[in-house]
Amino acid sequence: MPIFGTSILSFIPGWTAEGGSFAIQKTAEYGFDMLEISLPASLDFDAKGTKRQLNQYEIQGRLSLNLPAACHIPLYPENALALITKAIDKVGEMNGDFLGGVLHSAIGTFTGKQCTADEKLIVRQVFTELAAYAKKQNVTLGIEPINRYESYVFTAAHEVLQMIEEISTNNIGLHLDTFHMNIEERNFYDPIIAAGERLKHIHITESDRGMTGEGNVHWNDFFKALGEIDYQGPLVLENFSSEIAALVGPTSLWRPSKYSSEELAKGSLIFMKEMVAKWYNVTQPN
């Protein structure tokens, strides 16, 4: 059975000690098993204290990181290496085993050209070093491809999978997000089958960032594939409500949301559980 999780973005726009306590309480109250914590770029984060709070409410925690502009790997590989290394240390302080997110590039940083062979080499070299460092702490890295309007480095699953093969390591995996898949992938089935056991983390979000099941994501194809590979990792809700005013600009919520953040969280959790029950109980052909 997959782990049903949600992101701090269901409750707060970014991590603070006070906001984090609120997000942890709500995660437990709404019935989720796990909270994904997006680390601030400053890495001002009390990992040990947060772990104690998570344990208090009997929920799991996972960390993710989105690179800031000054750590865009093709331009600033040393900055990125230093920041991600410190983030891996935070995972270790939480006794965790995973760091996901947009680790390959800074969201919104572009050159106006396709990712060059030299840039790909730089990215690969950085992740080769990061994989070796993370392995010492038994940490797996999950790389999230995002859509072409937010990055030019990794925009589709096969690009990440190709790099994993080139590095030939077992502690780098794929972090998929259905919002970005809806833009960049030809379908919702093939990338999951291609990833197989290399799929380590998933963001569940509708095509319009609203209530799951009410948009254009082909959920039956998606969960059918998850059932076929017997994915047991986290399914992390990442939809947004304009009710949280600080999210409006960063997530381009230019129209008022139909649902409150609570309605989105509770309704989407029900939807995820229904889809898992539907597709994980199907007997697969030999």
The residues carrying an active-site annotation are: 144, 238
Tokens matching residue 106: 């800074």
Cβ within 8 Å of residue 132, ≥6 positions away: none
For residue 46, what is the DSSP state?
-
- 204 burial (CB, 10 Å; 0-12 / 13-18 / 19+) is buried
Q: How far apart are CA 265 and CA 268, in angstroms?
A: 5
Coil, strand or helix: which one is 173?
A: strand
User: Quick one: tokens of 126?
Assistant: 């950085």
Closest Cα to residue 236, out of 104, 142, 165, 151? 142
